[in-house]
Structure 1
Amino acid sequence: MRTFVSATKFFLKSGVKGPGYLEIVDGKFGEYFSNLPEEEVTLIDHSDKWIAPGLVDTHIHGYMNHDVMDNDAEGIKVMSEALLACGVTSFLPTTLTSSKKLLKEVAATVGSVQKEVTGAKIQGIYFEGPFFTEEYKGAQNPSYFGDPDIETFHEWQEASGGIIKKIALAPEREGVKKFVEQVTSESVVVSLGHSNGTLEDAAEAVEAGASVFVHAFNGMRGLNHREPGMVGALLSLRDVFSELICDGHHVHPSAASILMEKAGHDHVALITDCMMAGGMPDGDYILGEFPVVVKEGTARMQEGNLAGSILKLKEAIKNVVDWGLATPEQAVMMASLVPAISCKLDDVCGMIKKGRDADFIVLNPDMTLEATYLDGKQRYAISK
């Protein structure tokens, strides 16, 4: 018997359609139909809801009291399961600046557990650092900073089993151009951030192949009329993507609006930059090697600087709609297809497409999450 999902709207790559029916075949997406076939079928009824691709979080350090840098396979499995309640069906576990040895061990651990997780799917690893500069270190430990080193990166990549998909660096470091050219030739995405770089520094790195800016506006030299800096670069350079944290604390909605208007919604990737306190009560936590206090919706270091976030990606898509910055269709795109494209993952996630794993979410018209499906099976539903 054929199985169909019914809904008022479907957020397909070609646009929003509905009301209609989407076939699920052996855990994969099938065809979309405006009308049900005239035969007996199994119907998954979400007729007053919206169906969207599963969300893709390409920058997330931790969740539910676990951190990628804990180097704990079981903790990563907990993260994977818990992220389904955030609408996330694919993610890139994200490292922090640390010793070369620990980063190698973490890469190996994530690589070993990639196929074992049973919740949100690990689509690769994001190395955030350690090739940064101290002026905008954020919650990164500057004692481990250094210039890009291709041999060290290859050690990490080998340890991971070849699944490092993205690495962030500061474009003003020595040897960036050669490093970027090499790793991008190996299909690794380079993002730019935690940087006091100039527009010229960023442009040179982009010419070499860098294509993403780390958490736009945060951890980077701001816009100045005499030196546009990193913010000027992400607003003016073409064919680049910008990560954006829309929790209402990291970036003012007006600044987020400027970025979306200038770059286009199709070049802004909503991310969380979530740390271990995500999904947990207020209190004291650790990010990397630093103590962090979580209260009033923020995670801050002792000196008051923001230290990652406790944002859920399902909240980000609701926020940008509630703030009037995006349509529901654009919001979903910025948290699914755009992150996937920006990290070269759109061949496996980020859209509803025939033959792909049927990873999708069910949204209410107010953009709240109703349910999450993985491989065509409901794995999370809001408690009634």
Structure 2
Amino acid sequence: MQQLLTGARIFTGDRFLDNTALVIDDDTIFSLPENDNVVQDFPEASRINLNGGILAPGFIDLQVNGGGGAFFTNDPSVQALRTMLDGHRPTGTTSMLPTLISNTRPTHQAGVKAVRDAQDQGYKGILGVHIEGPFFDLDKRGAHNADYIRPLDQGDLDWLTDINDTRVMLTLAPEHTQAGQIRQLTEAGIIVCAGHTNAHYQQVTQAIKEGLSGFTHLFNAMRPQTGREPGVVGAALDSADTWCGIICDNHHVHPASVRVALNAKTPGKVYLVTDAMSTVGSDTKSFTIYGEEIFEKDGALVNAEGRLAGSAIGMIDAVRIAYRDMNVPLEESLRMASLYPAEYLKMDQTLGRIASNYRADLVHFNEQFNVTATWVAGSMQSHLPAEQ
């Protein structure tokens, strides 16, 4: 069955198109015809007038701890993944890497199994899994429980490198790995990122030589840059081919720091993440991890010590904040939320753009940055209030 979407300005991932419609055929984008005579050209299509606003590629979030009231590490199940997808979809997220924070190996193994099962059951929005920890530096652990922080051992390498049926992103502190371990991980297809790390510049550059390719929530929980010691931040900004995730919520990173990163980094290598917790898409504004209550305060999530513990935003919020508060052009803000994460996952031949033969993952939002509808593999969901 075909859908004919009209009435919106379309951002393709490369540029804006006016006077253009979008035709979806089943789960795939069929064409982008001009509006003239489009109804006559597709008489059998179900027509949807979007009444203005912007139609863009669906957002891809590579760091999602929870949503809709579910927290994946606490409940590594298919049901939790379904709840997270439902909780984030009204914020424009059409696909994600559900994220497991530092915990036991059996908990992480259960999470990977849940991701496999969800994908086997046809959950198109689950692209793989992000395992964040526990191979961290204690001083940079943030809200991760110190009891779980430990070095990477052979047992970890064995089970991680044996995962060959789903995408895996692994965040670790490179200074706490042994020579060759990062190479072993990346050669097995794992995307290795630096995070919660106190590494020196040279340690990071050596890890990059072994295949480390990304930096998790840039600026947060990592050795900062100084004039004499570039640190993790300096290594991230100095390396042309690596990727950086960044949390634009006006709490984790100052707007000026975002602009500095974008000016310093190779164009197209910085992408938006939410690092969202279970409160996103839920009426409950507190939750428990490691037996400790995390609560929302002034728009941020903090623990009893006042440490940031993830964010309270969805992807449309990150796009809006990047555009309005950090002066990132709207086109670039949208690419940071869709095209660039797709490129990092090497999925940019099917996701991250609006073009023929791409999967029909779409988000429509209005001038107030309210999401009005999303499509996942062509399946539409309205997010308008019931009275509308």
| TM-score bracket for this pair, using the shorter chain length | over 0.9
1:1-384 equivalence runs, <5 A:
3-35=3-35, 36-37=37-38, 38-41=40-43, 42=45, 43-69=47-73, 70-116=75-121, 121-149=125-153, 151-156=155-160, 158=162, 162-175=165-178, 177-264=179-266, 266-281=268-283, 283-383=285-385, 384=388
Q: Distance in 2 between matches of 1:91 and 1:373?
A: 14
Q: Which amino acid aligns with 1:142?
A: A
Give, in angstroms, the shift of residue 281 of structure 1: 4.3
Residue ranges of structure 2 left out of the alignment (5+ in a row) = none
Matched position secondary structure for 1:130: coil
Give, in angstroms, the shift of residue 331 of structure 1: 0.9
Q: Distance in 1 between matches of 2:3 and 2:109?
A: 44
Q: Quick check: 1:58–1:343 contact (8 Å CA) kept in 2?
A: no
Q: Distance in 2 between matches of 1:303 and 1:162?
A: 39
TM-score normalized by the length of structure 2: 0.91
Give, in angstroms, the shift of residue 76 of structure 1: 1.7
Q: Quick check: 2:160–2:185 contact (8 Å CA) kept in 1?
A: no
Instruction: Name the CA shift for 1:63/1:355 in 2 (closer, same or farther; >3 Å).
Output: same
Aligned residue pair count: 381
Give, in angstroms, the shift of residue 272 of structure 1: 0.5
Identity %: 27
Instruction: Name the CA shift for 1:174/1:72 in 2 (closer, same or farther; >3 Å).
Output: closer
Instruction: Name the CA shift for 1:3/1:294 in 2 (closer, same or farther; >3 Å).
Output: closer
Give, in angstroms, the shift of residue 266 of structure 1: 1.3
Q: Quick check: 1:285–1:294 contact (8 Å CA) kept in 2?
A: no
Q: Quick check: 1:54–1:372 contact (8 Å CA) kept in 2?
A: yes
Q: Quick check: 1:276–1:287 contact (8 Å CA) kept in 2?
A: no
Instruction: Name the CA shift for 1:12/1:303 in 2 (closer, same or farther; >3 Å).
Output: same
Cα deviation digits, residues 230-268 of structure 1 (max 9, x gap): 111122121111111011111111111111111155111
Q: Distance in 1 between matches of 2:240 and 2:214?
A: 11
Q: Distance in 2 between matches of 1:353 and 1:274?
A: 29
Q: Which amino acid aligns with 1:155?
A: W
TM-score normalized by the length of structure 1: 0.92
Instruction: Name the CA shift for 1:3/1:289 in 2 (closer, same or farther; >3 Å).
Output: same
Instruction: Name the CA shift for 1:140/1:358 in 2 (closer, same or farther; >3 Å).
Output: same
Instruction: Name the CA shift for 1:2/1:107 in 2 (closer, same or farther; >3 Å).
Output: closer
Give, in angstroms, the shift of residue 165 of structure 1: 2.0
Segment of structure 1 superposing worse, 363-372 or 241-250: 363-372
Instruction: Name the CA shift for 1:360/1:40 in 2 (closer, same or farther; >3 Å).
Output: closer
Residue ranges of structure 1 left out of the alignment (5+ in a row) = none
Q: Distance in 2 between matches of 1:289 and 1:162?
A: 33
Q: Distance in 2 between matches of 1:102 and 1:319?
A: 34
Matched position secondary structure for 2:144: coil
Instruction: Name the CA shift for 1:101/1:17 in 2 (closer, same or farther; >3 Å).
Output: same
Give, in angstroms, the shift of residue 86 of structure 1: 1.2
Give, in angstroms, the shift of residue 303 of structure 1: 0.7
Matched position secondary structure for 2:176: coil
Give, in angstroms, the shift of residue 308 of structure 1: 0.7
Cα deviation digits, residues 104-158 of structure 1 (max 9, x gap): 122212222233365x610000111111110100111232223233542442465
Give, in angstroms, the shift of residue 90 of structure 1: 0.5
Instruction: Name the CA shift for 1:296/1:108 in 2 (closer, same or farther; >3 Å).
Output: same
Q: Quick check: 2:364–2:374 contact (8 Å CA) kept in 1?
A: yes
Q: Quick check: 1:328–1:367 contact (8 Å CA) kept in 2?
A: no
Q: Distance in 2 between matches of 1:284 and 1:366?
A: 27
Q: Distance in 1 between matches of 2:292 and 2:157?
A: 24
Give, in angstroms, the shift of residue 27 of structure 1: 2.2
Q: Quick check: 2:255–2:326 contact (8 Å CA) kept in 1?
A: no
Kindly indicate which of the two structures has a greater share of residues assigned to strand.
1
Give, in angstroms, the shift of residue 164 of structure 1: 4.0
Segment of structure 1 superposing worse, 250-259 or 63-72: 63-72
Q: Which amino acid aligns with 1:214?
A: T
Q: Which amino acid aligns with 1:250?
A: H
Q: Distance in 1 between matches of 2:177 and 2:350?
A: 35
Q: Quick check: 1:282–1:294 contact (8 Å CA) kept in 2?
A: no
